[in-house]
Amino acid sequence: MKKYIILITILLLLVISSSGALAGSYSELEPIQKQFYWSCIKSDCLDFIYAKQYGKWKTCVSDCISKAETIKPIPVEELFCEDTDKGIDYKNFGSVTSNKYPNGKDDFCYSGNGKSYVFESACKNNKYVRYQKNCKELGQAYSCIEGACVNSVCDLQNVDNGVVAEFPDCAISCNEGYILEDNVCVKPNVPPVFGLFDVTHEIAVAGEFTIEIIATDDEVLEYSAENLPAGAELNGNIFTWTPGENQLGLFQFKFIVTDGEFTIEKTAKVEVFPNLGCDGIAKKKDYFGLDGHLFKYLDSDKIFNSNPQVKFKDINTGEHIERVIGGNIDQAYFDFKFYGKKYNFVSASDPSINDWDIMYKCNHAPVLDPIGNKKIKFDQELVIELSATDEDGDPLQYIVATMPVGAELNGNIFTWTPTKDQIGEYHVMFIVSDGELEDSEVVKISEDLECDDIVKDNEYFVLDNILLQYKGADKNTDTSPKIKFKNLNTGETLEYSVSFVNQQGSVTLKLGGKVYGFVSASDTGVDDFDIMYKCG
């Protein structure tokens, strides 16, 4: 080390002595010229010193002065300096580009004697300058790292479901079962998983069919489907479908479930069978529909067996159905009630052997014979005899809905004697039933006079729910002939003049603000002739 110090000292003395001989030229150099001068000495002249060729040394020094004088300082207007961290910023790394350092001069660190320095590059007066800073002055936790004073305590010290390594790594390690996303330990998203649910089904036409899609995931799931049959719907995770008569056979469609990242799929297979119509035949192991419910014919005993039975399976519920067979070698039969309805079957092949074909004998509704509307008068009995036919020969029951007070139904005979207080119009429903199907007719029963109804002397009649009595009329030969009525609702007697034209009598009855016309309906040459109500 001493050797280099002595060498430098000698070099300086020689330079000074040499430059002194140059009439003070060195002192007149600009800084940039001096910088060039020393570079020239270092590169061109030092070898002469080592060789102790002092004459050549002086000549070389003189040449370096001459060359330096040719170096022109950069005009102030051409100076440039750019600092990436925009000034003195000890806490952030930066780099300065200038005339002196066109390739850039980076901030850098230096450590020694327990201190940690940052050398900060900056611009001043459009020229490169450098500052140094002991990072400990910013805080005891600060050290110079990669050209900046850095707080050596991790910004994030604690995380949920994980741990933070010490500075300078500050790395986050997540617990088992968690992954790191944006410095947060989270459970990784996994694909949703289908649960157990049936995707293979057999159904019947006109029967509503439902599948609940079962899938699990911690995320919110979205459900969709592809290639759904016409009329089928998917609402959330519930699939519903009621096949039409033209939708027979095997249908395949796809259920799709996604959590927004992962998607899973499952294919469903549904086979649709027709409803078994009247006189429809099913063989052993056949599927068939009854009113939208699907059954499977399993087997049957021959008619000669003791307690012979036939067996079915309800596909909708999985229930097995057993029924006793009746009949003989010519015709076996059985029935069963299911879903509130009775189904009748007969043999469609030889019942003397096992597993004979079956035929559905559907029930036909009974037909009620027409009754028609009825006219009645109070205190007079109304009798209606009900009758009906049934194609299947089932026993029939007659029912009356909206039965008037005092009316009765005995078997198929309806009777009613209305009282004075029951004046009005009634709509009575007559029903015939075979225990499953029914037919009905609504009959209007009224007391009001209708067009061209005839009233005799002292008879009662009704007009718009007002009970009246015809109290007789004078013959056409009387002077100022009159006709009388009695309003039984009020007890008032009503008297009107009768007009005769060619012995045809006519009278206008005024009642409750309305006008009712009557004409004679029998010989007006005698008192109390019949009258006819002429409406309209």
Tens digits of residue pLDDT in 410-445: 999 999 998 878 877 889 999 999 988 899 999 988
Question: What distance in Å separates the CA atoms of residue 536 and residue 525, rounded to the nearest whole number?
Answer: 27
Burial (Cβ within 10 Å: 0-12, 13-18, ≥19) of residue 325: buried
pLDDT of res. 345 = 94
Compute the average pLDDT of residues 220-230.
96
Compute the average pLDDT of residues 42-58.
90
414 with 387, same domain: the answer is: yes
Contact status, residue 152 vs residue 167, Cβ threshold 8 Å: yes
Task: Give the distance, in angstroms, between the CA of residue 15 and the centroid of all CA atoms in the same chain.
Answer: 94
Tell whether the model's pLDDT for residue 3 goes beyond 80: no
Compute the average pLDDT of residues 237-254.
95
User: Does residue 164 belong to any structural domain of this protein?
Assistant: no
pLDDT of res. 2 = 45
User: Does residue 127 belong to any structural domain of this protein?
Assistant: yes
Q: Each residue of 407-430: b (16+ CB within 10 Å) or e? A: bebeeeebebbbeeebbeebebeb
Within 10 angstroms of residue 27's Cβ, the number of other Cβ atoms is 10
Cα-based angle 131, 133, 137 (whole degrees, multiple of 5): 155
Compute the average pLDDT of residues 311-326.
93
With cut-offs at 50, 70 and 90, classify the pLDDT of residue 378.
confident
pLDDT of res. 506 = 93
Tell whether the model's pLDDT for residue 153 goes beyond 60: yes
350 with 292, same domain: the answer is: yes
Question: What distance in Å separates the CA atoms of residue 329 and residue 299, rounded to the nearest whole number?
Answer: 17
Instruction: Identify the domain containing residue 399 by its residue range.
Output: 367-446
Q: 98, 119, 151: which is the final residue of a domain?
A: 151
**65-69, 75-79, 262-266 — most confident range:** 262-266
What DSSP character marks residue 165?
Answer: P
User: Does residue 97 belong to any structural domain of this protein?
Assistant: yes
**Among 16-20, 89-93, 121-125, 205-209, whose mean pLDDT is lowest?**
16-20
The secondary element (H helix, E strand) that includes residue 459 is: none
Tell whether the model's pLDDT for residue 27 goes beyond 90: no
Question: Tokens 């968690």, residue?
Answer: 178
pLDDT of res. 12 = 52
Question: What distance in Å separates the CA atoms of residue 379 and residue 319, rounded to the nearest whole number?
Answer: 59
Contact status, residue 274 vs residue 204, Cβ threshold 8 Å: yes
Six token digits for residue 316: 């909708």
Tell whether the model's pLDDT for residue 316 goes beyond 80: yes
For 410, the 3-state DSSP assignment is strand
The secondary element (H helix, E strand) that includes residue 19 is: helix 2-20
433 with 470, same domain: the answer is: no
pLDDT of res. 333 = 93
Count Cα atoms within 13 angstroms, Cβ side, for 237. Answer: 14
Question: What distance in Å separates the CA atoms of residue 19 and residue 65, rounded to the nearest whole number?
Answer: 8
pLDDT of res. 243 = 95
User: Does residue 157 belong to any structural domain of this protein?
Assistant: no
Contact status, residue 403 vs residue 428, Cβ threshold 8 Å: yes
Question: What distance in Å separates the CA atoms of residue 230 and residue 17, rounded to the nearest whole number?
Answer: 110
Contact status, residue 282 vs residue 357, Cβ threshold 8 Å: yes
What DSSP character marks residue 423?
Answer: -
User: Does residue 307 belong to any structural domain of this protein?
Assistant: yes
Within 10 angstroms of residue 206's Cβ, the number of other Cβ atoms is 16
> Phi/psi class of residue 33: alpha, beta or left (left: φ > 0; alpha: ψ in -120 to 50)?
alpha
For residue 421, what are the CA distances in angstroms to 172, 292, 405, 443?
96, 51, 11, 20
User: Does residue 421 belong to any structural domain of this protein?
Assistant: yes
Question: What distance in Å separates the CA atoms of residue 228 and residue 36, rounded to the nearest whole number?
Answer: 87
pLDDT of res. 19 = 45
Q: At what angle do helices 54-70 and 2-20 cross, to 10 degrees?
A: 70
With cut-offs at 50, 70 and 90, classify the pLDDT of residue 6.
very low
User: Does residue 163 belong to any structural domain of this protein?
Assistant: no
Q: 151, 170, 204: which is the final residue of a domain?
A: 151
Contact status, residue 334 vs residue 323, Cβ threshold 8 Å: yes
Contact status, residue 124 vs residue 130, Cβ threshold 8 Å: no
Question: Tokens 């029998």, residue?
Answer: 522
Contact status, residue 514 vs residue 497, Cβ threshold 8 Å: no
Strands (DSSP E) along 187-228, which ranges?
Answer: 193-194, 200-204, 209-212, 215-216, 222-226
Contact status, residue 107 vs residue 148, Cβ threshold 8 Å: yes
Pick the residue with more confidence: 166 or 7? 166
Tell whether the model's pLDDT for residue 10 goes beyond 80: no
pLDDT of res. 530 = 95
462 with 528, same domain: the answer is: yes
Q: 151, 185, 212: which is the final residue of a domain?
A: 151
Q: What pLDDT digit, counting tens, does each position of 495-529 carry?
A: 999 999 999 999 999 888 889 999 999 999 999 99
Contact status, residue 449 vs residue 457, Cβ threshold 8 Å: no
Q: What pLDDT digit, counting tens, does each position of 95-138 carry?
A: 999 988 889 999 999 988 878 899 999 998 888 899 999 998 98
Mean pLDDT of the chain: 89
Compute the average pLDDT of residues 9-31.
58
User: Does residue 144 belong to any structural domain of this protein?
Assistant: yes
Contact status, residue 341 vs residue 291, Cβ threshold 8 Å: yes
Tell whether the model's pLDDT for residue 376 goes beyond 90: no
Q: How many domains does the chain have?
A: 6
460 with 530, same domain: the answer is: yes
We report the CATH number of the domain holding residue 248 as 2.60.40.10
251 with 199, same domain: the answer is: yes
Amino acid at 521: A
Question: What distance in Å separates the CA atoms of residue 432 and residue 440, rounded to the nearest whole number?
Answer: 6
Tell whether the model's pLDDT for residue 7 goes beyond 80: no
Count Cα atoms within 13 angstroms, Cβ side, for 344. Answer: 11
**Listed residue (144, 145, 110, 104) closest to 123, CA to CA:** 104
pLDDT of res. 467 = 85
**Listed residue (341, 353, 349, 207) closest to 282, CA to CA:** 349
With cut-offs at 50, 70 and 90, classify the pLDDT of residue 20.
very low
pLDDT of res. 352 = 93
**For the whole model, what pTM was predicted?**
0.46
With cut-offs at 50, 70 and 90, classify the pLDDT of residue 1.
very low
Compute the average pLDDT of residues 162-180.
89
